[in-house]
Amino acid sequence: MRRKLIAGNWKMNNTPEEARALLAELLPLIKGASCDVAVCPPAVCLETVYKAVSGAISLGAQNMHWEAKGAFTGELSAAMLLAVGAAYVILGHSERREYFGETDETVNRKTRAAIASGLIPIVCVGESKQQRLNGYTNAYVAYQTKIALTGLSAEQVRSIVIAYEPIWAIGTGLVATDEQANETIGVIRAALREAYGGAADDARILYGGSMNAANARGLLNQPEIDGGLIGGASLKAADFAKIITDASNIA
């Protein structure tokens, strides 16, 4: 069975001091959790978080560049993330695509660079409200998935994480129903199986898009959903702990 993963995306929130306070509140609440847990803070907090969690939680970053070094002002390389203890990196989040020009091609380049460096990519895919209304969801997320992973071997695909985040549900309070989320994640897994065979059964696929303490259990109970990429709820220790507990009880 695939082990559940709950990853918190803090986005542009928390100073190092605030990060320490949040983790000090969270860690006692999730002692003994039987699912994997990661937090992805802003770059300024990466080292602080790594030292604060002491291995109890994995560290993730919110973005990286595909090149190892060079004239890329404001960017971070895989080696830099590894140097501060990162194990995961979020790639292709819809906010990066919408506001900062991410494309399917750049997500693929970053994914290949992350895998080559030993980082575990959390590759985000998801459709807009209009695409869902027009019936394009399945074709679109399958396309995004295949393009993001172009050039990877089946063995490499076994270790990746994909996060299905319907754009219309991110930060809006809207949530795909348990059945909608499970069905679309099933489509993503089918796309993986078509391209990579049995490796699709090992790759973890998370649901994002306003998963919170109130709705997590229903989503996490779905057979295709292997965890959650959590936004706002990961900034509240009690709420994030509740999601982790739900995932642990299911795992």
Q: Which structural domains are found in the chain, ordered by start?
A: 5-250 (3.20.20.70)
CB 112 within 8 A of CB 66: yes
Residue-level pLDDT, tens digit, the chain, 251 residues: 799 999 999 999 999 999 999 999 999 999 999 999 999 999 999 999 999 998 899 999 999 999 999 999 999 999 999 999 999 999 999 999 999 999 999 999 999 999 999 999 999 999 999 999 999 999 999 999 999 999 999 999 999 999 999 998 887 887 789 999 999 999 999 999 999 999 999 999 999 988 999 999 999 999 999 999 999 999 999 999 999 999 999 85
Q: Which two tokens stand for residue 64?
A: 């990286």
Dihedral sign for Cα atoms in the order 6, 98, 195, 140: positive
CB 158 within 8 A of CB 202: yes
Catalytic site includes residue 165: yes
User: Nearest Cα to 64, choosing from 41, 85, 91?
Assistant: 91
118/108 Cα distance (integer angstroms): 16
Annotated catalytic residue within 65, 93, 95, 102: 93
Instruction: Provide the strand spans (E) within 102-199.
Output: 120-125, 161-164
pTM, rounded to two decimals:
0.96
Place of tokens 């303490």: 213
pLDDT at residue 137 in the model: 95
Bridge-based pairing state of the strands 86-91 and 120-125: parallel
pLDDT at residue 1 in the model: 79
Cα separations in angstroms, 64 against 17, 40, 68, 90, 210: 24, 12, 10, 8, 24
Annotated catalytic residue within 95, 102, 127, 165: 165
141/200 Cα distance (integer angstroms): 15
Cα separations in angstroms, 229 against 41, 61, 234: 13, 13, 9
Q: How far is CA 27 from the centre of its chain?
A: 20
